[in-house]
């Protein structure tokens, strides 16, 4: 096992640091920015169906569901397709309005999650076309779908998902861009820009790792926090949910992720000088709004950790701690902004002496209801 961990203390940290490579692996052979080339072999034949789709329904559980929420923004923004994201466990027990004109995308690292598999069977019985985004080759979900794209993140051993999430987001981004290109909903210029930026992501993720020591120091300060709030807007809202989930899963600290603007409808009541609030505050279209949300939290003495874009000079003096991430195209932000949150939860959990690779009560793959 020590050999498998490749010198790291835990699989989780090994898998976090693998992401600069695994994100590249999930694009390998599919993308060549210089040639303006983007192709997903498994979906080729079905691309026209995506282009014609009036609606996509995404199903998944846990972290995979969060990747689905990111994809909702991507497909809507780039390909102008209406998207609904469903917890597989809820979808399967409703009487969902779904039929042969719908496309269902099932997202699953393991490809074995019982609820996701059952949601697929239900959608299939109603005539929908099913695509899979799975990590494990030949898994039950991969076999149950009409077509799909593997994430190629390599085996993920840590129960808390890290590299599988970024690989899912990468592959879903590729699918959304390919659909948008074929549909004509993005310009040639944006298309090329996105492909170039995607190729730069592994290097940008590598740059985030340079902050690991700083994140460790922040983790030390908050090791004994009892609660955490994570706030983000737009594409960073699902990242806030994912950051909160990571912390809960492995450190057993209660954490909530919220869209930053929803804070005033509840969570703001929780804020006092003991409440750490993690803000996803990268320079994107909601930047100014996030800045005022930060001010609202600081006015109530909350302790703010802000994930900001490199070179930001406005936010650092307003908050308690900042962690910088490199600038990228707004659409690709989650791929860099999630990394510091994974590291933060990892270091907090280690400092609390938790079994990070196998947290209590959780399973890597939930194959029963
Ligand atoms: C479990 C795992 C999570 C995972 C979820 C969905 O809860 O602990 O890390 O996100 O299942 O699993 P899947 O394999 O379908 O992505």
Q: Quick one: how far is CA 2 from the chain centroid?
A: 28
How would residue 2 be classed by pLDDT, with cut points 50, 70 and 90? Answer: confident
How far apart CA 166 and CA 198 sit, in angstroms, is 12
What is the value of pTM for the model shown? 0.97
Question: pLDDT digits over 40-75, tens only?
Answer: 998 989 999 999 999 999 999 999 999 999 999 999
pLDDT recorded at residue 3: 80
Residue from 21, 124, 298, 364 carrying the catalytic annotation? 364
How far apart CA 119 and CA 37 sit, in angstroms, is 33
Question: Taking 80 as the threshold, does the pLDDT of residue 88 lie above it?
Answer: yes
Structure tokens at 27: 């694009």
Distance (angstroms) between ligand 1 centre and the Cα of 322 equals: 30
Provide, rounded to the nearest whole percent, the portion of the chain with pLDDT above 90.
98
State how beta strands 227-232 and 254-259 pair. parallel
pLDDT recorded at residue 186: 98
Question: pLDDT digits over 328-349, tens only?
Answer: 999 999 999 999 999 999 999 9
Mean pLDDT, the chain, whole residue set: 97
- Average of pLDDT values for 200-219? 98
CA-angle at 120, arms to 119 and 121, nearest 5°: 90
Distance (angstroms) between ligand 1 centre and the Cα of 16 equals: 16
- Average of pLDDT values for 143-159? 96
pLDDT recorded at residue 1: 77
Distance (angstroms) between ligand 1 centre and the Cα of 64 equals: 7
How would residue 253 be classed by pLDDT, with cut points 50, 70 and 90? Answer: very high
Q: Whose CA is nearest to atom 11 of ligand 1?
A: 365
How would residue 254 be classed by pLDDT, with cut points 50, 70 and 90? Answer: very high
Nearest residue to 204 via CA among 71, 304, 340: 340
Question: Taking 90 as the threshold, does the pLDDT of residue 172 lie above it?
Answer: yes
CA distances to 185, 329, 367 from 189, rounded to whole Å, are: 12, 13, 44
Q: Count of alpha carbons within 13 Å of 139, Cβ hemisphere only?
A: 27
């Amino acid at each position: 096992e020590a050999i498998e961990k490749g010198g790291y203390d835990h699989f989780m940290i090994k898998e976090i640091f693998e992401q600069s490579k695994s994100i590249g692996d999930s694009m390998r052979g599919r993308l060549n920015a210089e040639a303006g080339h983007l192709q997903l072999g498994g979906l080729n034949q079905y691309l026209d169906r995506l282009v014609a789709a009036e609606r996509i329904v995404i199903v998944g559980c846990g972290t995979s569901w969060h990747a689905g929420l990111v994809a909702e923004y991507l497909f809507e923004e780039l390909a102008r397709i209406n998207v609904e994201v469903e917890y597989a466990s809820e979808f399967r027990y409703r009487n969902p309005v779904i039929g042969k004109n719908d496309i269902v995308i099932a997202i699953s690292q393991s490809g074995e999650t019982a609820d996701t598999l059952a949601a697929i069977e239900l959608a299939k019985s109603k005539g929908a076309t099913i695509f899979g985004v799975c990590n494990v080759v030949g898994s039950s979900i991969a076999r149950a779908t009409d077509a799909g794209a593997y994430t190629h993140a390599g085996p993920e051993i840590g129960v808390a998902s890290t590299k599988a999430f970024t690989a899912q987001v990468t592959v879903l981004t590729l699918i959304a861009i390919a659909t948008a290109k074929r549909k004509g909903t993005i310009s040639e210029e944006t298309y090329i820009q996105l492909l170039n930026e995607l190729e730069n992501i592994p290097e940008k993720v590598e740059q985030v790792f340079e902050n690991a020591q700083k994140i460790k120091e922040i983790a030390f300060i908050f090791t004994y926090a009892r609660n955490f709030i994570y706030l983000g807007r737009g594409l960073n809202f699902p990242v806030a949910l994912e950051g909160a989930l990571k912390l809960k899963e492995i450190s057993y600290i209660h954490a909530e992720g919220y869209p930053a603007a929803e804070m005033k409808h509840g969570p703001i009541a929780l804020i006092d000088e003991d409440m750490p609030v993690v803000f996803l505050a990268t320079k994107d279209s909601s930047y100014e709004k996030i800045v005022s949300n930060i001010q609202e939290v600081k006015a109530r003495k909350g302790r703010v950790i802000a994930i900001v874009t490199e070179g930001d000079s406005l936010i650092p003096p307003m908050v308690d701690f900042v962690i910088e991430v490199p600038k990228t195209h707004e659409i690709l932000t989650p791929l860099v902004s999630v990394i510091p949150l994974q590291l933060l939860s990892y270091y907090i959990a280690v400092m609390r002496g938790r079994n990070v690779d196998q947290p209590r009560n959780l399973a890597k793959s939930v194959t029963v209801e």
